[in-house]
Each structure stands twice: as C-alpha cells, then as structure tokens.
Amino acid sequence: MSISKKWSAAAAGLLALALASGGAVSASAAPGDPIKNPQSNGSNGSFYLFDENAESADAPGQVFDRAQYLFAASDNVDYLSEIDPDDYAAPGTWDTVYKFVAKPSELNGGTGSWRAYALDSAAGPNGGVLTPALTLGDLTAGNNGSIDSVFAADGDWLVGLAFTTNAGVTPVGMVYRTVTIDGDTDTYTYAPIEYDVPVGPEPVVEADLTAGLETTGLVTETVDSKILAIDAGVAQAGKTLSYGTFPAGLADQVILDANGVGTIDASVVPYWQTTKLYLAESDNTVVAWDTFTLSQDQITTDTTDVTVEVTNSGKFSIVAPAAQSIDLGDVRRNRVTTPVALGAVSVFDDRDELKGWNLNITSSAFTGPGATSVPANALGYAPVGTTLVGGITAGAAKLAGEGTFGVLATADAGSATGEFEPVVIDTNLTFKAPINAAKGVHTAVLTLDLVSK
C-alpha cells in the first residue's frame, strides 16, 4: 500500500513572473578504473556494485541473498556514474534497455531466451543507465522458470545489462558479470572484475628459501607481542625490502636502518604457528629468511551480555517551504529567468518499516493575461541537497521548457532520517518564456508529493 502526502494546493507555492534571463546546470561523472576488455566471460567491459547504503559491494567473495538490494555504476567510487550505452552498442542501433540473468547459451536470444529479466532505461542526466537495480529476486519475468529456476539450478550465471531492439528479442550490445549461485542457501557471489595489470617479477615460492639464505637471528619474537624485531645485518643496511611468509599471511615492505634493523607487525599471524619469514629485493630475489613462532601467556576471559531496545516515532512527513508565493522575476520571450530558490523542504522518515520514498515535483500550467496560458514544462528546476544521509539522493535537474517533471529527492529502502534530523532539499527554479508568450504576469501552482515506495 502506498502512502502519499502532498504539499497541497492550499499550501502550494504560487509562482509569479512577468515576461528577463537565466542559466543551465550540467553534471559529469568520474570514469572508473581501467579493466580488462573483454573479460574472460566474454563481456566487453564490466561494472561496479553498490549496496542500499551506496557503499561498494565488490569485496572479494561477498555473499548476497536473492532479496539483497544492489545497483550498478560505471565507476568504483562514484555510485551515480552512468553506464554509457555507447560503450557497448552503436548509437541509434537500440531502443530498449534490459537487465537479465542468463547462461552463455541464452545470451543472444534476448527476452526470448534469457532465464530472468526486467525492463530498465537509459534515462540518466547524461543519457546513460543510472543506478540500475540488480536485485536478483525482483527479476521475475523470464523463460523456463525465471529467477526461481536460476536458484534451483546452482552454478555460474551471467548478470548484466543489454541494449536491444525488436522488443527486447535482439541484443545489440551487452555488459555483464559472472555470479555463482548456491541454491541450498538462496545466496550468490560475484566473480571479481579483471583488470589490466603490468607483468611483474615471478612471486616468491617456498622453494626459494634455500638453506644458504637461512639467517639465524633475523627474526626475534617476544611473549604476548606480535611486533617482530628484524636484524638483517649491515649487508642490508638502509634498504627497503619486501617481506612475506609461509604459510601466507604477511606481505608488505620493511625499511631497515643504518644497522639493517627494523620491525614488522605480525598481528595477522596466529599464535603457536611455525612461520617462515623472508626478505626480498624489488625483483623478488630472496636475501634472507628465518623461522618464528608467536607465543602468549594463558589468558582468561569473562563475558557480559549487553541489551538495548531501539524505538522509533513512526513519523513520515514533509515540511514545505515557509514562502507561499515565489516571484521568478522578469523574462524576455524565448529566454530563461535567473534561478530563484524554492526554499528548504524537510522530509522525516522514522517509520517501523523503512520502504524508501520519492519526493515528486509537479506544476500546473501557467495562467497568463486574458485567456492565455503557458505549458507547465516551461518551469525548470535543479535540486540541491543541503542535508542528505546515506541512501538518500537529490534528483536530476530539469531544464526550463524541456523534459518532464521527476523527483527532487529519492530514498532507498532501509534509509531513515530519525525523528528530529530530517533530510533537507532545496531547488533552484527557472522559467523559459515561449517565443509567443503573452506579455504580463503568469502564475502556476507548484506541488510536492512525498510518496512511499
């Protein structure tokens, strides 16, 4: 059930203006890191994953369940970076965007063969696919059992975006990643992105630790300390050497002083494990190694349970700007007004179930002198978030005289404001006078709707 709260006509702001100039707003996204193209699964490129808090979800081996909300972006830091269709399909060759799950043999049949899919769009401010949701459990359309058959089958699958024609049946370009499904637990993992990396020296293997290089006294350990004292001797004085261990665990560099002495933090090495530590030059030539075993005194512990109950107010509301009438100034025909701030709009969401929400903006047509009018889309806006929290973002700008109305702000499921700390959003309003607009004052009613997802 959707909950809708409106900044209604009784409290709506009147936009008043006579027929004067303004400007436009643009945005750009930072590019992602270079990746191997194609990936070993055949994809021409890849994308990055973010969770419901807009935090990176690309940690190696990270496990997700089928209802976990994830979305994709083209940059590993900027979660609002759009996935550009031109990177995968020639301009003008496609007309629809889909997200899909398929086996390699099901790729080329589009909606006629993909196991699960859902419609998406390239509606970002820069013409790309903006934050496409990749929650696998929501891809309920498909073939041969849809997403349920994917989790029932286990194994490796391909998940990604396709730019298609012929009502989705003909993919023109695609970008995808490999996931491994565990149907017994209804979970899955993403294979890591492959990067182009320079060829380096051969890694050190345990066989490189020959008897002639063993250095008694290279490592000194003390009871209850995981800081190793290193004494490589004057032959290694002043050097910066790489180090590593067998079994694996430590890998970094150590700076030795004028006597060849330094320290290494071995916190990740378990107590009572016999470990070999080596020092190597930049080309991975081993120059010395030694064996050590960390030890500790007997430790006793006691535990105490700590309990706290979290409560909430259930509040879900919008507080509109104090100003009920906004004058956008004077404007010449076929020109745009200077931006004028609507004023701060506050949104509170402290409900039991945090479903997320959209703060939508619409306007009536502008009534002019006599029986004249100007279409509502003459109004433009550019949202400016003054106080935003994780999972809540400002919407895209709309140019005066162009496009359709959208959202001032949107909140992902799971995001909250608390009872007393609202999200605060403002927007700069502009108006483009049609070339044949009547001279005189024009007015319209601006409406904000807070809608639960």
List pLDDT tens digits, range 182-235.
999 999 999 999 988 766 788 999 999 999 999 999 999 999 899 999 999 999
Amino acid identity of residue 180, one-letter, is T
Are 155 and 180 spatial neighbours (Cβ–Cβ below 8 Å)?
yes
Considering only residues 305 and 162, tell me which one the structure prediction assigns the higher pLDDT: 162
Of 31-35, 91-95, 417-421, least confident by mean pLDDT is 31-35
Q: What is the pTM assigned to this prediction? A: 0.42
* Those residues with Cβ within 8 angstroms of residue 217's Cβ, 6 or more apart along the chain or in another chain: 231, 290
Q: Is position 279 within any domain?
A: yes
Residues 352, 243 share a domain: no
Mean pLDDT score, 153-164: 96
Q: What per-residue confidence (pLDDT) applies to 198?
A: 65
Q: Which of 139, 172, 190 is where one domain is finished?
A: 190
Q: Which of 190, 212, 244 is where one domain is finished?
A: 190
Q: Is position 165 within any domain?
A: yes
Residues 378, 334 share a domain: yes
Q: Is position 39 within any domain?
A: no
In 3-state terms, what secondary structure has residue 236? helix
Model confidence at 124: pLDDT above 70: yes
Q: What per-residue confidence (pLDDT) applies to 302?
A: 75
Q: Which of 293, 321, 347 is where one domain is finished?
A: 293
Q: Is position 18 within any domain?
A: yes
Residues 169, 241 share a domain: no
Phi, psi of 136 (to 5 degrees): -60, -35
Q: Is position 114 within any domain?
A: yes
Distance CA 236, CA 246 (A): 22
Residues 392, 334 share a domain: yes
Print the domain residue range for 69: 48-190
Residues 407, 322 share a domain: yes
Mean residue pLDDT of the chain comes to 89
Where does residue 431 rank: exposed (0-12), middle (13-18), buried (19+ CB within 10 A)?
buried
Phi, psi of 104 (to 5 degrees): -55, -35
Q: Is position 237 within any domain?
A: yes
Residue 160 binned pLDDT confidence (cut-offs 50, 70, 90):
very high
Helices within 283-341 (DSSP H only): none
Q: For the CA atoms of 373, 376, 380, 381, what is the dihedral angle to 10 degrees?
A: 130
Mean pLDDT score, 149-177: 96
Q: What per-residue confidence (pLDDT) applies to 397?
A: 96
Considering only residues 33 and 158, tell me which one the structure prediction assigns the higher pLDDT: 158
What domain count does the chain have? Answer: 3
Are 171 and 110 spatial neighbours (Cβ–Cβ below 8 Å)?
yes
Per-residue pLDDT tens over the stretch 321-366? 867 889 999 999 999 999 999 999 999 999 999 999 999 999 999 9
Residue 33 binned pLDDT confidence (cut-offs 50, 70, 90):
low
Model confidence at 173: pLDDT above 80: yes
Distance CA 196, CA 205 (A): 24
Q: What per-residue confidence (pLDDT) applies to 34?
A: 66
Q: Is position 219 within any domain?
A: no
Q: What per-residue confidence (pLDDT) applies to 300?
A: 61
Q: What per-residue confidence (pLDDT) applies to 324?
A: 82
Q: What per-residue confidence (pLDDT) applies to 22?
A: 26
Considering only residues 37 and 114, tell me which one the structure prediction assigns the higher pLDDT: 114
Residues 157, 52 share a domain: yes
Are 101 and 150 spatial neighbours (Cβ–Cβ below 8 Å)?
yes
Per-residue pLDDT tens over the stretch 286-324? 999 999 999 988 666 678 889 898 888 999 999 988 678
Q: What per-residue confidence (pLDDT) applies to 321?
A: 83
Residues 402, 276 share a domain: no
Per-residue pLDDT tens over the stretch 70-115? 999 999 999 999 999 999 999 999 999 999 999 999 999 999 999 9
Q: What per-residue confidence (pLDDT) applies to 201?
A: 84
Tokens 């769009």 — which residue? 121
Residue 4 binned pLDDT confidence (cut-offs 50, 70, 90):
very low
Q: What is the percent of the chain where pLDDT is above 70?
A: 91
Residues 315, 273 share a domain: no
Which helix (H) or strand (E) segment is 151 a member of?
helix 146-153
Q: What per-residue confidence (pLDDT) applies to 299?
A: 65
Residues 65, 140 share a domain: yes
Model confidence at 9: pLDDT above 90: no
Q: What per-residue confidence (pLDDT) applies to 365?
A: 96
User: Which residues on adjacent β-strands are paired with residue 246?
Assistant: 276
In 3-state terms, what secondary structure has residue 212? helix
Q: What per-residue confidence (pLDDT) applies to 418?
A: 84
Residues 388, 348 share a domain: yes
Which has the closest alpha carbon to 429: 385, 388, 369, 378?
378
Model confidence at 25: pLDDT above 90: no
Q: Is position 182 within any domain?
A: yes
Residues 345, 277 share a domain: no
Residues 445, 346 share a domain: yes
Model confidence at 284: pLDDT above 70: yes
